[in-house]
Amino acid sequence: GVDISQLRAKTGLITLDPGFGNTGACQSGVTFIDGDQGILRYRGLPIEQLAEHSTFVETAWLLINGKLPNKAELDQFSKRLTKHAPLHEGFKNHFEGFPLNAPPMAILSAMINTLSSSSCDGKLHEDDIDDLSAKLMSKVRTIAAYSYRRSLGLPFIYPDPKLRYVANFLHMMFSMPYEQHIASQEVVDALNLILMLHADHEQNCSTSTVRVVGSSKANLYASCAAGVGALWGPLHGGANVAVLEMLEAIHEGGMSAAEALALAKDKQSGFKLMGFGHRVYKNFDPRALILKRAADRVLGRLGVQDPLLDVARKLEELALIDPYFVERKLYPNVDFYSGIIMRAMGIPTSMFTVIFAIGRMPGWIAHWKEQNHDRASRIARPRQIYIGPKEQVYTPMDQR
């Protein structure tokens, strides 16, 4: 019966919760996580069932619209994705302006903002949200592929309207005739799975960022461009790059897995076991279990012998019985295996976090939309506990 806001106004009470570990910022019906039991559900559907039966595009529609699409709805969404795949020719000028070694995440974020300069007036058009979502999801894929081509100084490859979402992305990246590639379906399926497993994860750092930006009524594209920035960091989406770099460093440096583990336990070393630990999962990350199995299957099918996978397996094996990791409930997260699969598929490390961003786009859209519908939503405006100097007197320049 206590009205917290009135109490706060009276007492000036502020809860200090660094990293918002225990602060609920909204009510949401998109994704359910039980971190103790390792449960993840999108709109009530267990991630294991979606991984077995669904595709990334269908799952995206589910997240954005709250139910599985019927055939007509899915067909219409697919048509919209195809229609929106090309970028305006004028966009090529923007790509030309980036240095060849520009990080693809920087290009992605900038280009999503560029999209908002040409096609989004800052308002939510309820009638258009399906089209707006399809446009963003589709163009992001083309931008990602172009940023990769640009980094190699290679010509852009136009999207092929005959190809579906994932195959079209691989086509624009590599120009390989994926339909004829011996392992094409395996590669397409694996990327579908990776994108789907990344599609949403409730109030993570980047989704919270999208919500914070969107809470000011900023448009969908501006909000999602900010999400890309948040995702980039190595403690979040950038961890998939950090995992690969760590595995390479361990392998090339001739370090044993036990030595790497000892280093990660030493707080002075500044070294963390990348791909381990999670703010919410304190048992296991169900996405990591699915990807671990997929990694074995894909590498086997593609005939890839990757010594880094052996390093990864050894690290996991030792960490699972090491008291430091067991006591702190540090288990492999989704990024631990996704990088190994993408590497086996020939996707360069620089693109890993970009692919995560493509996958997370439906989640960001779903949360932005949900927030716009939520009458209880207010502009995000955390408070602070001030610890700076008390009032001071301005000192003229010649007396400092």
**Residue 237 vs 362, nearer CB to ligand ACO:** 237
Q: How far, in Å, CA of 207 to CA of 327, rounded?
A: 29
* Minimum distance of ligand ACO from residue 323's CB (angstroms): 12
Nearer to ligand ACO by Cβ, of 40 and 239: the residue is 239
Lookup result for tokens 């989640």: 363
**CB of residue 231 vs ligand ACO: minimum separation in angstroms?**
8
- Would you say 221 or 336 has its CB closer to ligand ACO? 336
CB nearer to ligand ACO: pick between 159 and 275? 275
Least CB distance to ligand ACO at residue 160 (A): 31
**Residue 316 or 335 with smaller CB distance to ligand ACO:** 335
Rounded to 5 degrees, φ, ψ at 97 are -75, -15
Least distance from ligand ACO to the Cβ atom of residue 388, Å: 25
Contact residues toward ligand ACO (CB under 6 A) are 19, 235-237, 239, 264, 272-279, 328, 330, 333-335
Tell me how far CA of residue 34 lies from CA of 55, 190, 319, in angstroms: 23, 25, 22
Give the nearest distance from C-beta 263 to ligand ACO in angstroms.
9
Distance, CA of 132 to CA of 263 (rounded, Å): 47
Q: In this structure, are residues 286 and 51 in contact, taking their beta carbons and an 8 Å threshold?
A: no
Region for 353 from its dihedrals, namely left if φ exceeds 0, alpha if ψ lies in -120 to 50, beta otherwise: alpha
> Shortest distance, CB of residue 198 to ligand ACO, whole angstroms?
7
The least distance separating ligand ACO from the CB of residue 217, rounded to whole angstroms, comes to 27
Cβ(197)–Cβ(55) below 8 Å: no
Q: State which amino acid sits at residue 244.
A: L
Burial class of 313 by CB neighbour count within 10 A (0 to 12, 13 to 18, 19+): middle
CB nearest ligand ACO: which residue? 277
Cβ–Cβ < 8 Å for 107, 150 = yes
| Angstrom distances, CA of residue 179 to CA of 37, 81, 166, 295, 313 | 40, 19, 12, 22, 32
Q: Cβ closer to ligand ACO: 154 or 235?
A: 235
Q: Report the distance separating Cα 48 and Cα 134, nearest Å.
A: 25
CA distances from residue 183 to 176, 254, 290, 302 in whole angstroms, order as listed? 12, 32, 20, 7
CA distance 356 to 131: 22
| Residue 13: count of CB within 10 angstroms of its CB | 10
Nearer to ligand ACO, 115 or 197 (CB): 197
User: Which residues are known catalytic residues?
Assistant: 278, 335
Amino acid making up residue 393: V
